[in-house]
Structure 1
Amino acid sequence: MALQRNIPMILSTKNTILKKYDGRFKDIFQEIFDKEYKTEFEAKGLTYQHRLIDDTVAQMMKSQGGFLMALKNYDGDVQSDIVAQGFGSLGLMSSVLMTPDGKAFESEAAHGTVTRHYRRYQKGEETSTNSIASIFAWTRGLAQRGLLDGSSNVVDFANTLEKCTLDTVSKDHIMTKDLALLVHQKNYATTEGFLDAVASNLARKVKV
């Protein structure tokens, strides 16, 4: 991924405390990097290094980005939420797991089940749940399926749905409560209202 994006890579662990467990991660990463990736990194002028997670998180908070953080599952789960919230909402974050050949692929909304909203929905109360991450979980999966099958129509549909979703927010200013609060907009859409607006935009772009 770092090579694809042409950015440096940092592995972050807590090997000063978890000496054996995290230390083994550090050693394995270094062995694989030296054997399989070092030459390519050097050819592109990119770097790989290990840093304590404390240091990397501090760097992440004060930097403008531009580097890839390699983290263990728990650390990655926590830090990805911090990054997503820094950009406004967990509802804007997609989560993708993919093998190097792209044949094994998982796409999901990273924000979890939004239990508070679901409890309100069960009571028949109105909700304003950001569904963008869920939409993108499906579109990323569809796009990958289209790539594997050689179906440009499927890929185009996925890309069009993503654009319609973004346009609904940025051009039509129709958004759920979490986003409306960020831009000091008093009016916001319900869960169903936002989805209806996206569907309306999509219907104008795609002829069934």
Structure 2
Amino acid sequence: MSKIAMTTPIVEMDGDEMTRILWKLIKENLIEPFVDLKTEYYDLGLKHRDETDDQVTVDSANATLKYGVAVKCATITPNADRVKEYNLKKMYKSPNGTIRAILDGTVFRTPIMVKGIEPCVRNWEKPITLARHAYGDVYKNVEIRVPSEGKAELLFTGKDGQEIRQTIYEFEGPGVLQGMHNKDKSIDSFAHSCFEYALDMKMDLWFATKDTISKVYDAKFREVFDKVFENEYKEKFEKAGITYFYTLIDDAVARVMKSKGGFIWACKNYDGDVMSDMVSSAFGSLAMMTSVLVSPSGVYEYEAAHGTVQRHYYKYLKGETTSTNPVATIFAWTGALRKRGELDSNKELSLFADKLEKATLSTIESGKMTGDLALITSLENVTKLNTEEFILAIRENLEK
């Protein structure tokens, strides 16, 4: 059988621990036998990041800007224990954070729905995609432990010497203080990424903040979204038959729970962090969740939503059999291959991605699945397979 040809490479970012093992199995069994795979390879495994002083992460992000599509394996963000375990030169930053800053993107996470793994919310019939702004707010905050009585002030000093000062609170005793920020440029990129992705997926877009309480900070987010929509996307949305609307975050939560799904829900950084975990858990599992970073310039980086599955990796090193779920990693590859096919007008490549996803889901629906799914499925008399057995079962369905 002749393999499907590719014209432009995909940027391939290898990773760590058990997902690195999955990565190799997926490529060897599900992609390379069918596709003449062209990738520009970067090893983002922690040891190689340490050897290059993390330059490899920067290089992989710049290559993504060049080629437009990347697929990324899960990677370790080291803490003190990891620094000691891997004998690292220093505690490196999150690779995802580094890549995201260079691509200036927004993270979109969508549950993978399959028969036999039903959502906890019984009226959800279609996936809900979470669009999370990934800059600033509480994640780049500055905090103070207020020791005693005193006045807390917010002070901005412009480059021209102009001062803007506002009293936060007159403390009558000890307390805590927090300062947050965001940038117009980042909010604008967030808005453009959300509108572009909604058009690409042909899905309605919701955006939610709390501008009734945060009349400057959150109100700026709403103002940017409304302006970008009216000036650049209103006619495009009408032509595509999709809608955009804004609502308060608490109202959005109520609407989401009563909805049938099938839309994109855009949230600020913290709201997106919390709500994406809620949505993924309610739909079944983080191992059944896609994640794609989209830049407003139309650059795409696909990955699984979960981590490196450290516990299974230590079992694997001892020679023990694991039943690790590879579905999200498979869908990272299919997302990248499909997008590469779309950008290159390579219908055969995009069709292959569709077939691989269908083969993966039909394997689960036939009752063959990994241990995590076997614990939550509504299907009866299922067969629990180890990692390699499950991938080979998908291969058999794909060949059919």
The normalised TM-score by structure 1 is 0.80
The partner residue of 2:307 within 76, 96, 112 is 112
2:366 pairs with 1:191: no
Give 1:99 shift: 4.6
The structure whose residues are more often helix, as a share, is 1
Give 1:28 shift: 0.8
Counterpart residue type for residue 23 of structure 1: A
In structure 2, the partner of 1:139 is: 334
The partner residue of 2:370 within 168, 171, 176 is 176
Say how many residue pairs are matched.
202
Matched residue of 1:12: which SS?
strand
In structure 2, the partner of 1:164 is: 359
Mapping of residues 35-114 of structure 1, within 5 Å:
35-41=231-237, 47-99=243-295, 102=298, 104-114=299-309
Between the aligned partners of 1:105 and 1:188, the Cα distance in structure 2 is 34
| Residue ranges of structure 2 left out of the alignment (5+ in a row) | 1-196
Counterpart residue type for residue 169 of structure 1: I
Give 1:23 shift: 2.4
Matched residue of 2:247: which SS?
strand
Matched residue of 1:145: which SS?
helix
Give 1:6 shift: 5.6
2:351 pairs with 1:151: no
The structure whose residues are more often strand, as a share, is 2
Q: Deviations over 1:50-72 (max 9, x none)?
A: 22222212321232224431123
The structure-2 alpha-carbon separation of the partners of 1:123 and 1:145, relative to structure 1 and needing over 3 Å to count, comes to same
Q: What do you get for the CA RMSD once the two structures are aligned?
A: 2.8
2:319 pairs with 1:124: yes
The partner residue of 1:12 within 193, 208, 214 is 208
Counterpart residue type for residue 335 of structure 2: R
**Does the aligned pair in 1 maintain the 2:327–2:360 contact within 8 Å?**
yes
| Residue ranges of structure 1 left out of the alignment (5+ in a row) | none
Matched residue of 2:323: which SS?
coil
Matched residue of 2:375: which SS?
helix
**Does the aligned pair in 1 maintain the 2:341–2:349 contact within 8 Å?**
yes
Structure number with greater Rg is: 2
Counterpart residue type for residue 320 of structure 2: E
Q: Which runs of 4+ in 1 moved over 6 A?
A: none
